[in-house]
Amino acid sequence: MSKKLRRAIFLAVICVLVIQFGSIADEPGYLLSAEDVIEFSVWNHPDLNRKLVIRPDGYISVPLVGEVKAEDLTPGELQSKIESLLKKYINSPQVTISVVEFRPTEVSVLGAVMRPGVFKVRRNSRLLEVLAMAGIDEKQALLEEVSLTRKETVIKIDVDRLLREGGYQNYVLKSGDVIYVPYGIREVYIFGEVKKPGSYVIGKKTTPADVLAMAGGPTERADLKGVKIIHRQGSVDVEVINLEDYLEHKAEDAIIYLQDGDIIQVEETRSIDWEKVFTYAAGIKIIHDLIVNW
């Protein structure tokens, strides 16, 4: 899959998610916690109505009643609890509790991403949405083996396939989830007319031009028009590429991504180096003149 196509798919998926999950309704089983903002109202007592923020200790300050623990209760359970406490002050109180602003979900993203760390995201955010925020390192990430850790459970996710085909593995994230994008550790070798031949560790999206740069670039005698790529995945396969043309034009359809164990061989040019010929000829002439004039 080309880089442009993958990015287009990625952006399309994110747009669908934003539209689909832009508005969030209360769920009966939702447990309240710190940073949730709730709207508290008592029927026929508008003077008691207000917005309340659940504090870090899990409590809220309710008019007439005082301190009430809201953490780990559903909105319905908190409503019943406050109604029971208000009976001392109001006859048959009818309380309504609704969540008007959900606390952010905290998710950690580690590994081969551009911005690793903890992300505070809106509730019901999904895996691809958060990966887009973290920024996948396309050259190093091994997208087929991304893991999502939730408490004691580790879920393996093929994000590469998810981007191409969609599917159920685009999970809704919960606070405390940890996403790990592994590095695709691959080793390739480059020999011949380069300044620093040897082995180099590469990522998934590494090209022969990238490895050439790692190796310090070509020597003056390098033939970049006939660079050999020896693939050793199963059977041995030799591919000859015009790296000089690629470096000049950078055509995306000509990009080759290297695999583990690939060998790059940069041959010596067979063309005549006229600069050296002229330098050599000039030297011969000087020696000839010295001998003749001795």
Confidence of residue 20 (pLDDT cuts 50, 70, 90): very low
Q: Which of 76-80, 121-125, 242-246 has the lowest mean pLDDT?
A: 242-246
Q: Are residues 246 and 257 in the same domain?
A: yes
Whole-number pLDDT of residue 25 = 35
Longest C-alpha distance within the chain, in Å? 129
Rounded distance between C-alpha atoms, residue 289 and residue 286, angstroms? 5
Looking at every residue in the chain, the average pLDDT score rounds to 84
Q: Is residue 29 part of a domain?
A: no
Full-model pTM: 0.55
Of residues 40 and 236, the one with the higher pLDDT is 40
Q: Residue 71: which of 60, 58, 80 has the closest Cα?
A: 58
Confidence of residue 244 (pLDDT cuts 50, 70, 90): confident
Cβ-based neighbour number of residue 233 at 10 Å: 10
Instruction: Give the pLDDT mean for 221-240.
Output: 87
Whole-number pLDDT of residue 39 = 97
Query: CA geometry: angle at 158 spanning 264 and 185, to 5°?
Result: 30
Domains in the chain, number: 3
pLDDT digits (tens, 9 = 90+) for 266-275: 999 875 555 5
Q: Are residues 111 and 74 in the same domain?
A: no
Of residues 283 and 47, the one with the higher pLDDT is 47
Instruction: Give the pLDDT mean for 248-264.
Output: 80
Which amino acid, 262? D
Q: Judge whether residue 24 has pLDDT over 50.
A: no
Q: Is residue 287 part of a domain?
A: no
Question: In CATH, what number is assigned to the domain containing residue 94?
Answer: 3.30.1950.10
Q: Are residues 226 and 247 in the same domain?
A: yes
Q: In the listed set 125, 160, 181, which residue is the last one of a domain according to the structure?
A: 181
Q: Judge whether residue 282 has pLDDT over 90.
A: no
pLDDT digits (tens, 9 = 90+) for 128-181: 999 999 999 887 888 989 999 998 899 999 999 999 898 889 999 999 999 999
Confidence of residue 252 (pLDDT cuts 50, 70, 90): low
Rounded distance between C-alpha atoms, residue 72 and residue 53, angstroms? 14
Q: Are residues 75 and 133 in the same domain?
A: no
pLDDT digits (tens, 9 = 90+) for 90-99: 999 999 999 9
Of residues 13 and 56, the one with the higher pLDDT is 56
Buried b (16+ CB within 10 A) or exposed e, 94-122: ebebebeebbebebbbbbbbeebeebebe
Confidence of residue 21 (pLDDT cuts 50, 70, 90): very low
Rounded distance between C-alpha atoms, residue 174 and residue 150, angstroms? 8
Q: Judge whether residue 126 has pLDDT over 90.
A: yes
Q: Are residues 200 and 164 in the same domain?
A: no
Rounded distance between C-alpha atoms, residue 60 and residue 293, angstroms? 108
Question: In CATH, what number is assigned to the domain containing residue 231?
Answer: 3.10.560.10
pLDDT > 90: percent of the chain:
59
Q: How many residues does the chain have?
A: 294
Q: Is residue 134 part of a domain?
A: yes
Residue 197: exposure state from Cβ atoms within 10 A (0-12, 13-18, ≥19): middle
**φ and ψ at residue 209, rounded to 5 degrees:** -65, -35
Q: Are residues 154 and 203 in the same domain?
A: no
Q: Are residues 237 and 196 in the same domain?
A: yes
Q: Is residue 233 part of a domain?
A: yes
pLDDT > 70: percent of the chain:
80
Q: Is residue 291 part of a domain?
A: no
Q: Is residue 78 part of a domain?
A: yes
Q: Are residues 176 and 238 in the same domain?
A: no
Q: Is residue 280 part of a domain?
A: no
pLDDT digits (tens, 9 = 90+) for 58-78: 999 999 999 999 999 999 999
Q: Are residues 148 and 201 in the same domain?
A: no
Q: Are residues 96 and 83 in the same domain?
A: yes
Domain that holds residue 55: 37-101
Confidence of residue 19 (pLDDT cuts 50, 70, 90): very low
Q: Are residues 119 and 150 in the same domain?
A: yes
Q: Is residue 221 part of a domain?
A: yes
Of residues 117 and 5, the one with the higher pLDDT is 117
Of residues 5 and 150, the one with the higher pLDDT is 150
pLDDT digits (tens, 9 = 90+) for 184-230: 778 899 999 999 999 998 876 789 999 999 999 999 999 999 999 99
Q: Are residues 74 and 97 in the same domain?
A: yes
Q: Which DSSP symbol is given to 21?
A: T
